[in-house]
Amino acid sequence: MAHTAHHHFPAPKMRLEDTRLITGSGKYAADWDLIGQLHGYFLRADRAHAEIVAIDAGAALKHPGVVGIFTGEDAVRAGYVNAPHALNFPGKNGMKTRAPKRPALAHGRIRFVGEAVALVVAESVHAAQDAAELIEVQYRDLPAVVSPEAALAPGAPQLHDDVPGNMPLETEVGNAAAVEQAIAGAAHVTRLKMEVTRVAPSPMEPRACTVVHDANADSYTLHVCSQGYTTLRAQLSAYTGVPRDKLNFEVRDVGGGFGQRTLAYPEYCALMIAARATARPVRWVSTRSEGFMTDSHGRANIISGELALDKAGKILAMRLDWVNDMGSYLGPGAMGHIRNTSSCMTGVYRIPALYANYRVALTNTTPVAAYRGAGRPDISYVVERLVSQVAAELKVDAAELRRRNFIPTDAFPYTTATGSVYENADLPGLLDQALKLADWKGFAARRKKSEQAGKLRGIGISTVIENTGAGNAPKDDIQIDLDARGEVTVHTVSKAQGHSHETTFAAIVAAALQIPIERVHVRQCMPDMQHVLTGNHTGGSRSTVGAGSVCHLAALKVIEQGKPLAALELGVEPSQVEYAKGAFRTRESRRAVKLADLAKGKTFTVAAEGKFGSTQPNGCHIVEVEVDPDTGATDIVSYCAVDDCGVVINHAVVAGQLHGGVVQGVGQVLGEQVVYDRASGQMLTASFMDYCMPRAGIVRGIRGEEHPTPSKVSPLGVKGMGESGCTASLPAATNAVIDALRPLGIDRLDMPLTPATVWHAIQSAKEKAQ
């Protein structure tokens, strides 16, 4: 990946965490094996909607090895019924969010396939599973609804008595009157209905949790996969009523997160009940099928959009109608579908008038939460699909229409029509670099060549911007410990799940201290620091902007606080001391005080804190595809990406984030989708045999370049990169496929663009043409 260097950060040949991870020396949530531990197995609902008439666990309790069985009665008795959520936006016409209760184990009614009905605890997982099969549950079936639009329709089956119409919230943002006036007077209005499909994030590591209850302290320790224990602690405390200082965590290596590992799941609460009741550790490891059915899903938005332009092709206004499918219950990650989509609603364009109406729907499906981008890819998909549709309808170049409507470089910092403030970007320069990289002008010749080979070739473009997460914590803390060997240990509560924090944060500290990166050791979410440090969990592309910036400040503080100590040793005033390459010196003396000397008597410790707001990484992605008209199969033949993530700490890590995000986005466009049977509510894609997970070869080569505009939010100039690939690839890949099909009269196809979907569209177009 080509890049422009602004700072000199050390870049090891391998990530510092690689040796541990690729040699099998990592420790994941399922690797904990505690003395005396019991094993949990959840009996789950086999239907989508029903009343629980009775549960008979008598035979199961007598099964050899069974220690206890817990049901919704135990959850209600413990008070574990109020699942946290963050859907706290002002409602339309004064409406307040109607949040249904969610007992840690289903009580009275089940509302989606896979909901936990009972927890069996036994001496072995096999005994627990065998006993679960002996539990008899009597249900009274109820009609199910899995489509969010159907759930909001009059007469739909009602999921919760206290959420009439299955709509916990309707809210709006923007100026409805101004948009209506602009649309009425527009020279051209494009209308498009789009769906950002429901997907299963599917991290490599299945969910797992082992809970220990300390009766003397009345505290709990959870050995769990998490994106950071500060957020998880807050959510679990809200769910259970257990004080935060009584909740402890062991979080080591985490095999993927994507937002899905942030949540306080009801299973964790049920395990807390069991650990307390049995006075023994209780361990549970999810199966992959359980993961598909019960780990939070992502996306699941249906949007009707209108884009209005004047005669000169300048955008006047945009109006959006959102239906947000939240599944059967509200979750703490649900707010991104409204907050982030409204924050980035204008995209990279100067749009004078914006308005969106949001209707949140509950359905008999798995709850939805944040998934890589948390609404940012969704709004980018909507805006970029509309702009490309306008370009096709007006028969203008898609890139030039974008350029015509970009927020001018001299307009930054730019306040959008929904009140967001974009710090900086060079959108024309970004576009020019991407067009050159992709050889945009040479596409016509490549399309003709594909045509001669019997293929339909298309090109798609997206120019996107997104807000990184500012986080809910009041600040980010970093502690640095320096020992007598000169080894530097950096403590943070930010938690990597493949993000390379151990390399990136170490590079930041090593650069500031001017020492080899191998002498810096990053420790994340260590147990002895969990009630000492505060900060944000990892998510929203925020970690380098937040915790990374504080790493830089803490390293500078080491130097600042070290100078007076070195001055004493050197017999001079602190103002005479200079620091370079791991040592303090004066110009008058050859003597030096090394960093290690500061810790001769005891560990030298400094702490730093900081609070940093959102930054706005942006990018331009251009995709070319070939579609086989005989099979409908789509082949990505070129993928070019130019991204502005501010100052880059490690170019290989940035490239890795880009590649992963692009593949996740393209995977969703070309196949990923959670599918439920409309009549029964059964999930039809609960295994990798049925769920179309993207394979490594789906995008065989990505050409990436950087176009950095340093941020002033962070002292490092960084912006964030974790979600950019996903945000840009969704619309770019879709636009490319539709461009390939447009000569056949197809311009309104929506994801997932599977071979079957594309083939049927082609056949239908051919029939219409006859």
- Residues 29-61 have pLDDT tens digits of 999 999 999 999 999 999 999 999 999 999 999
Nearest CA among 763, 738, 734 for reference residue 751: 734
- Contact between 516 and 473 under an 8 Å Cβ cutoff? The reply is no
Rg (the chain; Cα; Å): 27
- Contact between 592 and 722 under an 8 Å Cβ cutoff? The reply is no
166-171-174 Cα angle (round to 5): 155
Alpha carbons 736 and 742: distance in angstroms, whole number: 10
Alpha carbons 255 and 258: distance in angstroms, whole number: 10
In a domain, 735, yes or no: yes
Alpha carbons 165 and 157: distance in angstroms, whole number: 9
Distances (CA, A) of 661 to 78, 423, 440, 721, 724: 41, 23, 23, 9, 7
- Region 126-140: mean pLDDT is 98
Answer yes or no: do 630 and 691 share one domain: yes
* Mean pLDDT, the chain, integer: 96
In a domain, 549, yes or no: yes
Dihedral of the alpha carbons of 193, 199, 201, 207, in degrees to the nearest 10: 140
Buried b (16+ CB within 10 A) or exposed e, 389-417: bbbbeeeeebbebbeebbbeeeebebebb
What's 658's domain CATH number? 3.30.365.10
Alpha carbons 730 and 664: distance in angstroms, whole number: 9
Q: Which of 585, 610, 635 is the last residue of a domain?
A: 610
What is the Cβ-side half-sphere exposure of residue 444, based on CA atoms within 13 angstroms?
A: 2
Confidence of residue 334 (pLDDT cuts 50, 70, 90): confident
Confidence of residue 99 (pLDDT cuts 50, 70, 90): very high
Q: Which of 592, 610, 628 is the last residue of a domain?
A: 610
Residue 467, classed as helix, strand or coil, is coil
Residue 6, pLDDT score? 47
What is the Cβ-side half-sphere exposure of residue 350, based on CA atoms within 13 angstroms?
A: 15
- Region 462-476: mean pLDDT is 93
Residue 410, classed as helix, strand or coil, is helix
State yes or no: pLDDT of 8 exceeds 90.
no
- Region 315-330: mean pLDDT is 98
DSSP H helical ranges for 312-397:
336-343, 376-394
Residue 2, pLDDT score? 43
Strand order of the β-sheet with 703-706 is: 456-465, 618-627, 634-644, 703-706
Alpha carbons 8 and 472: distance in angstroms, whole number: 31
Answer yes or no: do 549 and 411 share one domain: no
* Strand-pair category, 634-644 with 618-627: antiparallel
In a domain, 7, yes or no: yes
Least confident interval from 458-462, 677-681, 721-725: 721-725
Confidence of residue 587 (pLDDT cuts 50, 70, 90): confident
Nearest CA among 141, 186, 124 for reference residue 46: 141
Residue 40, pLDDT score? 98
CB atoms within 10 A of CB 369: 27
State yes or no: pLDDT of 1 exceeds 90.
no
Q: What is the residue type of 723?
A: E
Answer yes or no: do 652 and 559 share one domain: no
In a domain, 729, yes or no: yes
Answer yes or no: do 489 and 593 share one domain: yes
CB atoms within 10 A of CB 685: 18
Answer yes or no: do 501 and 590 share one domain: yes
In a domain, 219, yes or no: no
Answer yes or no: do 676 and 558 share one domain: no
Residue 590, pLDDT score? 82
Answer yes or no: do 640 and 588 share one domain: no
Q: Which of 610, 629, 659 is the last residue of a domain?
A: 610
Distances (CA, A) of 517 to 193, 319, 508, 655, 762: 51, 50, 9, 20, 56
* Strand-pair category, 219-224 with 247-250: parallel
Residue 5, pLDDT score? 39
Alpha carbons 479 and 355: distance in angstroms, whole number: 44
Tokens 């799941």 map to which residue?
265
In a domain, 155, yes or no: no
SS3 letters across 159-202: CCCCCHHHCCEEEEEECHHHHHHHHHCCCEEEEEEEEEEEECCC
In a domain, 128, yes or no: no
DSSP annotation of 683 reads: B
Answer yes or no: do 599 and 483 share one domain: yes
Answer yes or no: do 655 and 581 share one domain: no
Nearest CA among 341, 380, 382 for reference residue 360: 341
Residue 7, pLDDT score? 60
Tokens 């019991």 map to which residue?
38
> DSSP states of 86-108 as a string?
---PPPGGG----PPP--SS--S
State yes or no: pLDDT of 322 exceeds 50.
yes
The length of the chain in residues reads 770
- Region 614-643: mean pLDDT is 98
Answer yes or no: do 520 and 589 share one domain: yes
- Region 622-645: mean pLDDT is 98
Residue 336, pLDDT score? 81
Confidence of residue 770 (pLDDT cuts 50, 70, 90): confident
Angle, nearest 10°, between helix axes 398-405 and 427-438?
A: 170
Answer yes or no: do 435 and 511 share one domain: no
Residue 148, pLDDT score? 98
- Contact between 442 and 721 under an 8 Å Cβ cutoff? The reply is no
pTM of the predicted structure, to 2 decimals:
0.96
Q: Per the omega criterion (within 30 degrees of 0), is the bond before 352 cis?
A: no
pLDDT tens profile 393-411 = 999 999 999 999 999 999 9
Alpha carbons 607 and 481: distance in angstroms, whole number: 9
Residue 696, pLDDT score? 84
SS3 letters across 30-58: HHCCCCCCEEEEEEECCCCCEEEEEEECH
Answer yes or no: do 660 and 753 share one domain: yes
* Domains contained in the chain, number: 2
The pair of structure tokens assigned to 600 is: 């001769």
In a domain, 554, yes or no: yes
Q: Which domain holds residue 754?
A: 375-469+614-769
